[in-house]
Amino acid sequence: MLERELKVSNRLGLHARAAAKLVQVLSAFKAQVTLLGRGREVNAKSIMGVLLLAAAPGSTLVMRADGEDEAEALAAAVALFERRFDEDD
């Protein structure tokens, strides 16, 4: 299992469009991926789960990936967070 702390740095936080992008990116991988934030742990491949975190700009989340392609899944998610979900700010 791999784990990484991520900061939500896009202007609107983890809103519907950003959550959908995250779920879309992670759905290509077999690994199970969870997000932890605000005392909750959710399936990062579930848009409802991701939205439930209500992660505001500047908040910190922990992502855990477990499975045969865990490193690739985590790297893809980290890249998306670092690109600020491809939003023009």
Catalytic machinery residues: 15
Instruction: Report the candidate in 5, 2, 7, 24 with the shortest Cα–Cα distance to residue 58.
Output: 7
CA–CA distance, 73 with 84 (Å, rounded to integer): 17
* Burial (0-12, 13-18, 19+ Cβ within 10 Å), 48: exposed
**60 exposure class (CB count in 10 Å sphere: 0-12, 13-18, 19+):** exposed
